Structure 1
């Protein structure tokens, strides 16, 4: 397994442990570049740019408030140096609505010095995802 895949696997494990309440945020922060930027689609309840490890901590808290469950069913990863594409099939249930939804997310990730420096998730249908979160009509 490449070093990049090992870093991502360990990051995802730390993220899952944090979101489940098993650990604090520190194990996640170890994998983040100090200037990390997460770009979320504006049409989502947690949309916008989240900057730095503190921004990612706030984003993850917002995700926990938004989703009652968020499960990765399958992932495909393509590594090209410090750039990674991750296609995930997700099943999630909105906390406010109880609506369960399965959807793909494509994440374009850039690493710097072995840490996540930029993450750009792309959703096929942001309106459906937002509706599952908030109950608003598509």
Structure 2
């Protein structure tokens, strides 16, 4: 998987590495549509968690609370049939992390493969993920990979 936490003093990277591993297992199990259990991922989330995705990706918007994140990941797994996260680098701050990583995924609809760099910016509260915002190196390409070719 290539998800190495690196050396941070806060333990944020360990929480996040565990979350990313759970996320990859959830996607591999087929997500909500296949009855995959979201509980392992939810155990890393603060009750007031907010996840933010940009406006051009297939799962755009702000997702609130564990239930909102469960719905987000249901949509995410309807978009991608595989997910590999690698080359993860953590940059630690006082209350969170910035992460640069490589994301490789296969579109459910088109079968096309995405290979891009992604940035995640996270804050933590009480040892749990409180907020995360995701930026894709080329969000237009994310949309293109997941959109069927016109007939």
Q: TM-score, normalised by structure 1?
A: 0.91
Q: Provide the secondary structure at the position in 1 that maps to 2:145.
A: helix
- Please point out which of 96, 99, 106 is paired with 1:83: 96
Residue 22 of structure 2 corresponds to 14
What are the superposed Cα offsets for residues 86-109 of structure 1, whole Å, 9 maximum, x if unpaired? 101111111111111210100000
Q: TM-score, normalised by structure 2?
A: 0.83
Q: Provide the secondary structure at the position in 1 that maps to 2:142.
A: helix
CA distance in 1, matches of 2:13, 2:86: 18
Residue 119 of structure 1 corresponds to 132
Q: Provide the secondary structure at the position in 1 that maps to 2:104.
A: strand
Q: Provide the secondary structure at the position in 1 that maps to 2:59.
A: coil
CA contact (8 A) 1:130 1:136 kept: no
Give the CA RMSD over aligned residues: 1.7
Change (3 A) 1:136 1:83: farther
Q: CA deviation at 1:85?
A: 0.5
The ranges of structure 1 where at least 4 consecutive aligned residues each deviate by more than 3 angstroms after the TM superposition are none
List runs of 5+ in structure 2 lacking aligned partners. Answer: 1-6, 31-35
Q: Provide the secondary structure at the position in 1 that maps to 2:103.
A: strand
Residue 97 of structure 1 corresponds to 110
CA contact (8 A) 1:40 1:47 kept: yes
List runs of 5+ in structure 1 lacking aligned partners. Answer: none
Kindly tell me the number of residue pairs found equivalent between the two proteins.
Answer: 137
Work out whether 1:53 is the aligned partner of 2:61: no
Residue 33 of structure 2 corresponds to none
CA contact (8 A) 2:27 2:77 kept: yes
